[in-house]
Structure 1
Amino acid sequence: MNWDDLRVFLAVARHGTLAAAARSMGVNHATVSRRLAAFEKGLGRPLFDRDASGLHLTAAGQAVLAQAQAMDEAALAVRRLADAGAETGGAVRLTTARAMANGYLAARLAGLLDRHPGLEVTLLADTRILSLAQREADIAVRLGRPGDTELVGAHLTDIGYGFYAAPAVRAALEAGGALRLIGFDKDGTAAEGAWLAQHFPEATVCFRSNNQLSQRAVAMSGGGVALLPHYLAHGSGLQALPLGATPPPREVWLMTRRDLARLPRFRVVMDYLKALYHADRAIFEGAA
């Protein structure tokens, strides 16, 4: 049995499609398809039913999955034994929301990489929440208190919100001009979008986006007033506007799996992130 074929089977079982499994493994779609076919041929039976929605485990596939997961856990246990005595070098996959990754974290990782030149950090900025339990990532910076008791972590800070606009837009509003809001995609799921729609139902919305960095860019260009987390407005030249209530703060948590928390390379990354967020609490809470 080819271990790589078994890894492909596990990835497809976890993700439900060949394309998603390929992305998670960093290979192309054709490689996943070929290896899965070889694995099924070697076992002499189909492991998945195919339909328009994706791939679904057959009864045989369910039986193989239980054994494959046990083999995968055993392989990971061997790797952890090797890692336990290792230095702080190696690969670490860090995941967070796109705005947090591109508007804050990416610009602040140089100190970590300089201090530990053997690290190879992959920053995964995704619209969906990647699963730590399924090993889609190693460490996560997440918005909101986690409910997964299988993970360990720490509260980093709270994100506050405010209304922000370019100086010219603020001056026009103070002179009696009409309020033009920069809003969220109507079909989106952002909590801030729902809050804005509830509290400003009659406001004129001049621009919509499900990307807060795009909203900030339009606000900076003078397009309107944006509801932004304080850390995205910090240093942008935007000015705060007192338009009344703002959404309640959101907690930011640092999370990882229990088996990783003790390993040197993950521990140094988590310690660095804790110190980073604690030092910038005033930026996140809007006091800076």
Structure 2
Amino acid sequence: MADKKRTEPDWQDVRVFLALGRYGSLSAAARALGTNHSTISRRLQSLEASLGEKLMERRPQGYVLTPAGTQALAAASDMEAAVQTLGRGQADGVPRGLVRVNAPPALTQGFLTAQLAPLPLQYPGLDIELASDLRAVSLERHVTDIAVRLDPPRDGDVIARPLGTMAFGFYGTEAVRARIEAGQAPSFVGFDEANAYLPEATWLAQHFPQARIVFRANNQAAQAIAARSGAGLVLLPHYLGRSTPGLHPCTLPVAPPSRGIFLLTRRQDRRDLPIRTVADHLLQVFADARALFEP
């Protein structure tokens, strides 16, 4: 395509390329933009013609960036960030616009929703989108603006700030705890097979290899509800076990190590007022709730 005459890129083409680069599939990009597959394909071809470069290749697993596409995505993300600063309160100091936050499901349901939902009342022009994923989503591809993670980042141009420590313990109903204290072998509520790779799931399997898993769920918030019914003992982060009515701590000879909690933002967004406002709020609420999370 390098021999074709280049023209100025169309911003709508750039928006489509950003969505396709972030989500990796026509369907996901079309849903995100509220359009159809043919429009996504046409816009991508238009941008490639304008730049004279092949930006993406279609593979069986979806669309992947070419080296030129990786460079173009970074430049397009910078363009989007610059456009988004317009009308986001930089001049008058009042944050406005959408901030997307992503965190693990249990942390989202068991803590963050209650902490973030009142923030738009304090800042009426601020909108918050809170999503949950067990697997990390990309900050660099602008899938989210703020990520709360249990592992520090290994790469990427991001700022990682510690939010505290997440410690774990066993919880159950009074009846379950009494049976275990009387010497009965514990039965557990745990992760389903699809999420058996998670650190807490692998730790439980290693330390209690013969134990029965009587109920399985894909996140710890659901596991806490199951344990509250008396199904079995559950390994939970303390913030969830301590805040779930009907659950009580149960001491076993071993417990998994604590994990660090980190707040991740893109370095280029450090001056974005809405993102900075939400990030500062999260830093404060985790500091205030430190005793809930620690041993």
Q: TM-score range by the shorter chain?
A: 0.7 to 0.9
**Structure 2: where are the runs of 5+ without partners?**
1-8
| Deviation by residue 1:25-84 (Cα, 9 ceiling, x = unmatched) | 3425xx243232254268399865545322346xxx754664565355245335447643
Q: Which residue of 1 aligns with 2:96?
A: 89
Normalized against structure 2, the TM-score is what? Answer: 0.84
Displacement of 1:227 in angstroms is 0.5
Is residue 250 from structure 1 mapped to residue 250 from structure 2 by the alignment? Answer: no
- Aligned residue for 2:243, secondary structure, equals coil
- Aligned residue for 2:193, secondary structure, equals coil
**Structure 1: where are the runs of 5+ without partners?**
none
Distance of 2:83 and 2:152 partners within structure 1: 32
User: How many residue pairs are counted as aligned between the two chains?
Assistant: 280
Is residue 218 from structure 1 mapped to residue 223 from structure 2 by the alignment? Answer: no
Distance of 1:90 and 1:68 partners within structure 2: 22
* RMSD after superposition: 2.6
45-54 vs 197-206, greater mean Cα deviation: 45-54
Distance of 2:224 and 2:180 partners within structure 1: 18
- Aligned residue for 1:227, secondary structure, equals strand
Q: Report if the CA contact (8 A) 1:5-1:36 is conserved.
A: no
Is residue 101 from structure 1 mapped to residue 108 from structure 2 by the alignment? Answer: yes
Given candidates 46, 54, 57, the residue that maps to 2:62 is 54
225-234 vs 34-43, greater mean Cα deviation: 34-43
Residues 230 and 267 of structure 1: CA distance in aligned 2, closer, same or farther (over 3 Å)? same
Residues 226 and 88 of structure 1: CA distance in aligned 2, closer, same or farther (over 3 Å)? same
Once the two structures are superposed, the pairs formed by residues 272-287 of structure 1 within 5 Å of their partners are 272-286=281-295
Residues 241 and 37 of structure 1: CA distance in aligned 2, closer, same or farther (over 3 Å)? same
Given candidates 32, 38, 42, the residue that maps to 1:33 is 38
Q: Which residue of 1 aligns with 2:3?
A: none
- Letter in structure 1 aligned against 2:130: L
Residues 178 and 124 of structure 1: CA distance in aligned 2, closer, same or farther (over 3 Å)? same
Q: Which residue of 1 aligns with 2:18?
A: 10
Normalized against structure 1, the TM-score is what? Answer: 0.86
Residues 268 and 238 of structure 1: CA distance in aligned 2, closer, same or farther (over 3 Å)? same
Distance of 1:134 and 1:39 partners within structure 2: 16
Given candidates 136, 149, 169, the residue that maps to 2:143 is 136
